[in-house]
Amino acid sequence: MENYTDLNPGKRILLGPGPSDVHPRVLKAMSTPLVGHLDPDFLEIMNETREMLKEVFQTRNELTIALSGTGSAGMEASLINLLEPDDKAVVCIAGLFAQRMADIVKRCGAEPIIVEAEWGNIIEPEKVRKVLQENKKIKLLAIVHAETSTGVRQPLEEISQLVKEVGALLVVDAVTSLAGIPVEPDQWQVDAIYSGSQKCLSCPPGLAPISFSENAMQSIAKRTTPIQSWYLDIGMLQSYWGKERFYHHTAPISMIYALREALRLVLEEGLEKRFQRHQLHSRALVAGLEAMGLEMVAPPQYRLPELNAVYIPEGIDDLTVRRALLHDYGIEIGGGLGKFKGKAWRIGLMGYSCSRSNVMLFLSALENILQQEGYSIAEHGILAAQEIYQQK
């Protein structure tokens, strides 16, 4: 029998597209002794987690819970509960993760109607208006608020109005936006919105915060066909998280502990201060990257502070730089996906990872590596970042 050693993964600073670094208090919460998943103490912990989730989502939706599964489970749950065979769904695609939405729509037996934009751009409301005018009986429109593959923040207010004018439902992917930038589902009239625990909440991956409007629940109640997934049937999950407490599945107890503590940290900091922190450190990072001569993917007015996508300079190899960052400095960043594979880096500043020390360390490390690879630095990135911090 082989002698397996204790776990000892390398020490990392997680500055990729997720997961982000986890606060020590969250890790400590995960070590809390287990109780049964129907134990009265755990049911109260679920209640507290649900109430804090509503505060962080800034919603009054009663059905606001944490699904057992990653953010992709939230995506699937939103669509399979709201769509039936032969329904029509408009899917707005400007990056990789919206493409997954279209795939799920097809698997529901529904018809995806695609509105596209070039990667790195937003979905323009006029394109949505045109599609909604040309197609009748649209059941829902699905769109990504924070596209992790491009670093673009999608404005939702005008598109939401267009969706409501035709009586359709609005589904929003907030996996990378929740607790990093303002998310306002009630104000935007969102019917289903989901996120992931491992991004700006700085909790380990494994849970998908999700919220359904009353309008969405009424739509689900009118279904004439069964929901294709037993595990993600939101009616059953509502009964488990609600007053009935009907047994559905064994909840990941330690992960609920972790999410509760992560949400408590968010609320202790305050949403506005948290948003401002993400903006400040992103501004410093971008100033440093641009000072070195690098170009950002997303235009400034639509740029995500928590996910900064930057083009790789001409003549620089993607993997060489990322491997050097990991092996020499213990820093993880993300490579490009889809159309941006080998062409862009994705630098995350999410939750606990979003700090001045991480920004300055990363800029210094990147500058050293780029110079070793023969890239001519225009200006020192850390000096440009320092100027931003001095203006604070």
Decide: helix, strand or coil at residue 309: strand
User: pLDDT 10s digit of each residue in the chain, 392 long?
Assistant: 688 999 999 999 999 999 999 999 999 999 999 999 889 999 999 999 999 999 999 999 999 999 999 999 999 999 999 999 999 999 999 999 999 999 999 999 999 999 999 999 999 999 999 999 999 999 999 999 999 999 999 999 999 999 999 999 999 999 999 999 999 999 999 999 999 999 999 999 999 999 999 999 999 999 999 999 999 999 999 998 988 888 899 999 999 999 999 999 999 999 999 999 999 999 999 999 999 999 999 999 999 999 999 999 999 999 999 999 999 999 999 999 999 999 999 999 999 999 999 999 999 999 999 999 999 999 999 999 999 999 96
The reported pLDDT for the residue numbered 370 is 98
As given in the structure block, the two tokens for residue 213 are 């409007």
As given in the structure block, the two tokens for residue 346 are 């994705």
Strands 63-68, 207-212: pairing kind: antiparallel
Give the integer Cα–Cα distance in Å for 224 and 382.
60
Give the integer Cα–Cα distance in Å for 354 and 344.
20
Q: Tell me how crowded residue 8 is: count the other CB atoms within 10 A of its CB.
A: 6
Give the integer Cα–Cα distance in Å for 362 and 150.
20
* Assigned CATH topology for domain 271-391: Aspartate Aminotransferase, domain 1 (3.90.1150)
The reported pLDDT for the residue numbered 40 is 93
The reported pLDDT for the residue numbered 243 is 81
Strands (E), the chain: 13-14, 63-68, 88-93, 111-116, 138-144, 146-147, 152-153, 169-173, 192-194, 207-212, 307-311, 331-332, 334-335, 344-348
Q: Which of 258, 281, 269 is nearest to 348 (CA)?
A: 281
Q: What is the DSSP letter of 28?
A: H
* Assigned CATH topology for domain 24-267: Aspartate Aminotransferase; domain 2 (3.40.640)
The reported pLDDT for the residue numbered 170 is 98
What are the residue boundaries of the structural domains of the chain, listed by start? 24-267, 271-391
> What phi and psi, each to the nearest 5 degrees, are found at residue 346?
-120, 115
Give the integer Cα–Cα distance in Å for 133 and 30.
50
